[in-house]
């Protein structure tokens, strides 16, 4: 099925006489007629529902839909995008391990990798995603467990060369994790060699700013028995000696993430939020089409405006990411544009405060047009060096172009530029 059909038809499929709309299973727990049955579920929790801290029928329907949209073997919802990244990385990294990440990623993820995971004894080396394969290879150490990047980086708007990163990862027997938050339905990273996909479902997947959530999608193709990951090939003492790879094969990563990590960390998505997420997913491909079309027009306008110093949007003629965008994002590059005005930080603040239609909020990838000044908000905690590595200047403005009529968006942007 095509994305528009998957978005509407995958996941919940009512049987004869059942509700047309997916029910919300608002229950922490599930009833069984015998202790023996519950005991069997503890032997293999994939055989039924036990407790909504790690699995719930409403969440399962949505997980199935997202796995289908990404072309993965399975998915697990999480309480936030941050939780998805945390659970995915720590599913295979322990104290003493190391991983490599593109430097040009979301500021919260930089913080998680550089500060919090470091406190847990997990080290991350950040690399320039546009560096040569040889240079990126030099960051890999004997204890490296994975490579991480964002399809379209927030807010640098750089496009990841997924095939290049997958090649480096696989040559070293490592998986590639891709945060595809900005490009759902526009890019399917598994088709280019990614092994695990992460989304903040708070963004385009929900699209209406009503829920915080995340998801981990497993491509089901990585060989976790390649000798680098004893956590899949040796018994898990916390689960009566289960050997994930032996018991669950291609779904070993996802099932360990649910049975072990989610059981212990408890950062699962609620049934209510999963229901709301499903509403958003139903129109995701339609919205993405409009976001891309509107943003491309706004980017063209900004690109030639005399008050604008520079614009980052991959479809623009001068963009260094135009070729990568044509390869990985042929139907569009999302609604997010980053640009800098002549006059730096002060001009940015005047522009943002003059917008009448666009909302000044700490959010991105919403159906409504939003604007944000990353250096004083989402990336405030980063040092100047980290800001530079993440591709952020003090005057950078992030405009998340929504699905309003393009003429209204252009009128608003034009009048605000006039006020600078
Ligand atoms: N990944 C990207 C690319 C993001 O933009 C964000 C949030 O902005 C996150 C992850 C974190 O997601 P959440 O806010 O749902 O925790």
**Which of 108, 186, 212 is the best mutation target for the ligand 1 pocket, counting ligand atoms within 8 Å of the beta carbon and taking the most?**
108
Please give the helix or strand (H or E) that residue 177 lies within, else none. Answer: strand 176-179
Least Cα distance to 202 among 188, 221, 182 occurs for 182
CA of residue 347 to ligand 1 center, whole Å: 27
Whether residue 126 has pLDDT greater than 80: yes
Q: Whose CA is nearest to atom 4 of ligand 1?
A: 106
Does the pLDDT value for residue 78 go beyond 90?
yes
268-279: average pLDDT = 98
Tokens 């030099």, located at residue: 138
Q: How far is the CA of 105 from the centre of ligand 1 (A)?
A: 10
Point out the ligand 1 atom lying closest to the alpha carbon of residue 85.
10
Two tokens, residue 134: 């040889």
Pocket of ligand 1 contains residue 366 by CB under 6 Å: no
Q: Is the C-beta atom of 273 inside 6 A of ligand 1?
A: no
78: Cβ below 6 Å to ligand 1? no
pLDDT value of position 107 = 87
Give the percent of the chain with pLDDT over 90.
Answer: 90
Which tokens sit at 326?
């044509």
Ligand 1 atom closest to the Cα of residue 201 is 15
For ligand 1, what atom is nearest to the CA of residue 378? 8
If you average pLDDT over every residue of the chain, what do you get? 96
User: pLDDT class for 374, splitting at 50, 70, 90?
Assistant: confident
Average pLDDT over every residue of 153-167: 96
pLDDT digits (tens, 9 = 90+) for 409-419: 999 999 999 99
Q: 390 alpha carbon to ligand 1 midpoint, in Å?
A: 15
Which residue's CA is the closest to the ligand 1 atom numbered 13?
81
Instruction: Tell me the average pLDDT across 243-267.
Output: 96
79 ligand 1 Cβ < 6 A? no
**Residue with CA nearest ligand 1 atom 12:** 81
* Pocket of ligand 1 contains residue 179 by CB under 6 Å: yes
Ligand 1 midpoint to CA 45 (Å): 29
Out of 342-351, 366-375, 390-399, least confident range: 390-399
Structure tokens at 72: 């993965």
Atom of ligand 1 nearest to the CA of 365: 5
Cβ pair 194, 177 in contact under 8 A: yes
CA-to-CA distance for 301 and 286, rounded, in angstroms?
23
pTM of the model: 0.97
Q: How many CA atoms lie within 13 A of 124 on its CB side?
A: 24
Q: Is 253 helix (H, G, I), strand (E, B) or coil?
A: helix
**Over the Cα atoms of the chain, what is R_g?**
22
Least confident of 104-108, 262-266, 397-401: 104-108
Q: Give CA 302 to chain center in angstroms.
A: 27
212 Cα nearest atom in ligand 1: 15
Tell me the two tokens of residue 39. 């005991």
Q: Starting from the edge strand earliest in sequence, which strands make up the sheet with 396-400, in order?
A: 308-312, 336-341, 396-400, 370-372, 359-360
Distance, CA of 417 to CA of 294 (rounded, Å): 18
Whole-angstrom distance, CA of residue 18 vs CA of residue 345: 56
Place of tokens 């700490």: 362
Does residue 36 surpass a pLDDT of 90? yes
Instruction: Answer with the residue of higher pLDDT: 240 or 232.
Output: 232
Atom of ligand 1 nearest to the CA of 363: 8
Structure tokens of 104? 């040009």
Instruction: Report the nearest-CA residue for atom 6 of ligand 1.
Output: 200
Is the CB of residue 80 below 6 angstroms from any atom belonging to ligand 1? yes
The atom of ligand 1 lying closest to the CA of 105 is 3
Q: Residue 185: which region, alpha, beta or left (left: phi > 0; alpha: psi -120 to 50)?
A: left
Residue 387 is predicted with a pLDDT of 76
Cβ–ligand 1 contact at 82 (below 6 Å): yes
Residue 378 has pLDDT above 90, yes or no: no
Kindly state if the Cβ of 334 falls inside 6 Å of ligand 1: no
Q: How far apart are the CA of 415 and the centre of ligand 1, in A?
A: 30
Instruction: Specify the pLDDT at position 194.
Output: 99
């Amino acid at each position: 099925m095509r994305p528009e059909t998957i978005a509407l038809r995958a996941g919940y499929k009512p049987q004869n006489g059942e509700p047309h709309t997916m029910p919300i299973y608002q229950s922490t727990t599930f009833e069984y007629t015998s202790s023996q049955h519950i005991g069997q579920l503890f032997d293999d929790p994939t055989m039924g529902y036990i407790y909504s801290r790690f699995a719930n029928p409403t969440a399962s329907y949505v997980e199935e839909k997202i796995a289908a949209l990404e072309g993965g073997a399975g998915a697990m919802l999480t309480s936030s995008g941050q939780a998805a990244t945390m659970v995915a990385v720590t599913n295979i990294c322990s104290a003493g391990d190391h991983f490599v990440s593109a430097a040009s990623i979301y500021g919260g993820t930089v913080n998680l990798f550089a500060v919090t995971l470091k406190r847990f004894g997990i080290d991350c080396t950040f690399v320039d995603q546009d560096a040569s394969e040889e240079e990126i290879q030099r960051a890999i150490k004997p204890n490296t467990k994975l490579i991480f990047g964002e399809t379209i980086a927030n807010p640098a708007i750089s496009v990841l060369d997924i095939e290049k990163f997958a090649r480096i990862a696989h040559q070293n027997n490592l998986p590639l994790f891709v945060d595809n938050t900005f490009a759902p339905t526009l890019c399917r990273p598994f088709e280019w060699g990614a092994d695990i996909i992460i989304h903040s479902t708070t963004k385009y997947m929900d699209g209406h700013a009503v829920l915080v959530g995340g998801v981990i999608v497993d491509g089901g193709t990585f060989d976790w028995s390649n000798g680098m990951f004893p956590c899949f090939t040796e018994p898990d003492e916390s689960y009566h000696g289960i050997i994930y790879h032996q018991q669950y094969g291609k779904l070993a990563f996802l099932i360990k993430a649910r049975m072990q990590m989610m059981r212990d960390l408890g950062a699962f998505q609620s049934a209510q939020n999963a229901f709301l997420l499903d509403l958003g997913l139903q129109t995701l491909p339609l919205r993405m089409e409009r976001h891309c079309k509107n943003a491309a027009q706004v980017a063209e306008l900004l690109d030639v405006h005399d008050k604008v110093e520079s614009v980052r949007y991959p479809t623009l003629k001068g963009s260094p990411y135009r070729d990568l965008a044509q390869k990985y994002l042929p139907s569009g590059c999302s609604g997010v544009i980053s640009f800098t005005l002549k006059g730096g930080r002060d001009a940015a603040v005047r522009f943002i405060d003059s917008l009448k239609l666009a909302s000044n909020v700490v959010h991105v990838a919403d159906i409504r047009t939003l604007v944000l000044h990353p250096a004083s908000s989402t990336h405030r905690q980063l040092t100047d060096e980290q800001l530079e590595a993440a591709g952020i200047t003090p005057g950078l403005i992030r405009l998340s172009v929504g699905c309003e009529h393009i003429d209204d968006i252009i009128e608003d942007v034009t009048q605000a530029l006039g006020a600078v």
